[in-house]
Amino acid sequence: MKLCVVGIGGAGGKVTMEFMENEDLDSRLAASITKAEYITPGMIKGIWLEADKNDAKNLQHFFGDFNKGAYPGFFIPHDVIEDGSDLHVCVRERYGYDVKKQGFVRDAQYLKAIYEIFDTDSQIQELAAKEFSLNGNLEGPEQSGQKTEKTEPNGHSSFSKQAPNPIFDCAWNVIRPYTTLGGGDCDGILFIVSFGGGTGTGFINPIINNIRNEGKSDYPVFVLGILTETGSFADRAQNSKEGRRDLAAISAIYDLLTKSNGANGVILVDNQILLELFESDYTAANKFIYKMMRPMVLGRNYPGETPPSQAIAHNFTQGLLRPPIFVPLYATLTRCKNPEEELIRKALAEGRLFGCTPEDADFAVVFCRGFIDSDKIRQALSAQIGIDEDKIWVLRKMGEVDDEILIMLRNPYGGDAQAYTRQRTLENRFCEVISKALQYMDENVEDLFYEGKDSRKNPDSGKEESVKLTERAKQALDKFYFGKNGLTRDNLGKTDGFVNELQEAERRLQNGEKPFFLSPMRIYQREEKESGDKGKFDNIRGKDEISIIIDKRVREILAEQGLIPKTGQDSVRSAAKILE
Ligand SMILES: Nc1nc2c(ncn2[C@@H]2O[C@H](COP(=O)(O)OP(=O)(O)OP(=O)(O)O)[C@@H](O)[C@H]2O)c(=O)[nH]1
Ligand SMILES: [Mg+2]
């Protein structure tokens, strides 16, 4: 496995930095003089996607400007759209969104809407095709020290299949050459984002859609997501209150977990746990995130144990209809004889990076570094949490000094209606985030439409910027959040819509149901030209989503009749067996 690490947004960039330290030369200057190849541990390649130019250009000195050939580099996707171009103006006139906004709108829906506008509005698509498809100006610059084999004459392959989506296409185009899909040598991507801001949370789903829409349904894509902390610690730096950060976080996670052909796994880390461990020091937390991920991404594999990313991705998602959550548990021990049992015990007792109930996991992957016996790991984990040994997959690598393990528990929750009442369960943490997001929406409905409060001075132009959505955009958001009847104060979330879906998810978590997010949601619907079914499949997209809705209904009916338990992702399969 050789990964391309793509950090998105502030926290995503800072954690990616830890993965990208140069192994050979500490000095960037010396490296550039000697034209030394930039070598990271594990030969990881990487890039940082950012929306805030000030953060990228002035507030950090690790990443250079990708457009000037720097490596490792930052890239500002919205720069691809020219200020004042027909496309820029048209999106603003029709919807009110400024596609070049530098990311002060701290929510996931802003970029989701922009992605879906380009995905659905034929007028915008025509303009985008005129400005981008013809002259091919989405092409990235030569990447220093990297292979830049071009697979298409104009650098954007997706256009032959669908309309250009410039911001996300150009982001994919700068990642692609690092991957085996574009002539590079990375056989998988690890996206790193925080769930809680606007850039990382807003970008992660559209960019995965872009990869999948290109027809790359089996290219391994993993997401490492850092859930924003509770309390007000991040409020000032982030200029965003807890409830709002929670809404951004849950929106992004919702989309990730409901996209049936999306990521191969969403690895969740809770900033709350990290900041308690590292006394609110983000830098120390970031270093630890890298350290705990090393057994997955680094090191020489044991002879005969060298699975490519594809095998890992396949095992991660095997048997599931939706992308799974993985909770990482990490432990390290000074090298000793027979460390396996103690490593497992330590990881379970002290190494959980997100609330969970290990006994409820339906599968576990254990990445090891050091002198470790696979059988003993399987026996110890099976004995301590009770899952079958054949549901535990052990992958070993050579280590450095100490022995380390990273246990990835798949979907370690569900089946216990009391779990949400206990601290440090996944149900409890998600219920907390959902209820704070719901409360925030209830108390700040106008924020959902960016009314009044969202403005700031643009550091480039010095002008005050704010968002003023058009009626068209407001109506779409109204329907997205509050369902077909729109917002009525005393009816919040009682019809369909995202608010209702969140309430339902909270209820499922409280009942111990698994999974808890089911139906994909869209703000802008695709036109149903051929079928004439416009409006009939609101919030649904494609065959995958339709099959999920059918799956959901079948499960409800079977559960009502007592044929299957209420929990379990595999319930349709088990129901099919019962019916046979
Ligand atoms: N672990 C960790 N978490 C961080 C760090 N910086 C910010 N966070 C958390 O991540 C959340 C989102 O912050 P950013 O990643 O800066 O947001 P963004 O993706 O750049 O989005 P914008 O809102 O557009 O700036 C914050 O609310 C914090 O909870 C960091 O360096 N390390
Ligand atoms: Mg930011």
Query: Where are the domains positioned within the chain?
Result: 3-8+10-299, 325-410, 433-579
Query: Ligand 1 test: best mutation among 17, 194, 247, 268, most atoms within 8 Å of CB?
Result: 194
Rounded Cα distance, 11 and 570, in Å: 35
pLDDT the model gives residue 485: 80
Alpha-carbon gap, residue 508 to 515, rounded angstroms? 8
198 lines ligand 1 (CB under 6 A): yes
* Predicted pLDDT at 132: 86
CA of 227 to the centre of ligand 2 (A): 15
| Residue 225: its H or E element | strand 221-227
* Angle at CA of residue 98, ends 97 and 103, nearest 5°: 105
- The residue with tokens 């432990």 is 331
Decide whether any atom of ligand 1 lies within 6 Å of the 226 Cβ.
yes
286 touches ligand 1 (CB under 6 Å): yes
274 and 282 in contact (C-beta within 8 Å)? no
| CA dist., res. 507 & res. 454, Å (int) | 32
Report CA Rg, the chain. 23
- Which 3 state secondary structure label does DSSP give 333? strand
Residue 573 tokens read as 């399969």
CA 255 to chain centre: 9
Q: How many residues does the chain have?
A: 580
Q: How far apart are CA 134 and CA 137, in angstroms?
A: 8
Which of 213, 184, 128, 150 shows the shortest CA–CA distance to 6? 184
Q: Is 165 left (phi over 0), alpha (psi -120 to 50) or beta?
A: beta
Closest ligand to C-alpha of residue 14 is: 1
Quick count: other Cβ atoms within 10 Å of Cβ 279? 8
Report the predicted TM-score, pTM, of the whole model to 2 decimal places: 0.87
- Write down the H helix ranges in 259-369: 271-277, 282-297, 309-317, 340-350
Contact 206, 262 (CB under 8 A): no
* Nearest ligand to the CA atom of 55: 2
- Protein fold of 3-8+10-299: Rossmann fold (3.40.50)
Q: Which residues of the chain have pLDDT under 50?
A: 134-136, 140-161, 530-541, 568-580
Task: Find out whether the beta carbon of 515 lies less than 6 Å from any atom of ligand 1.
Answer: no
- Collapsing DSSP to helix, strand or coil, 1 comes out as coil
Query: How many angstroms separate the alpha carbon of residue 238 from the centre of ligand 2?
Result: 8
197 Cβ closer than 6 Å to some ligand 1 atom: yes
Ligand 2 centroid–CA 249 distance in Å is 14
Give the residue among 49, 80, 165 at the shortest CA–CA distance from 117: 165
Closest-lying ligand to the alpha carbon of 231? 1
Q: Is the shortest distance between the CB of 404 and ligand 1 below 6 Å?
A: no
* 8 A C-beta contact, residue 240 and residue 208: no
Taking the centre of ligand 2 as the mean of its atom positions, its distance from the CA of residue 171, in whole angstroms, is 16
- Torsion, Cα 377 383 389 392, to 10 degrees, reads -50
What are the tens digits of pLDDT across the range 379-431? Answer: 999 999 999 999 999 999 887 789 999 999 999 999 999 999 999 999 999 99
Q: Which two tokens stand for residue 531?
A: 């079928």
> What's the pLDDT at 399?
79
Nearest CA to ligand 1 atom 8: 11
Q: What is the CATH number of domain 325-410?
A: 3.30.1330.20
Per-residue model confidence (pLDDT) at position 560: 73
Q: What's the confidence (pLDDT) of residue 580?
A: 37
Plot region of 43 (φ>0 → left; ψ -120 to 50 → alpha; else → beta): left
Ligand 1 pocket: which of 109, 232, 238, 270 to mutate (most atoms <8 Å of CB)? Answer: 238
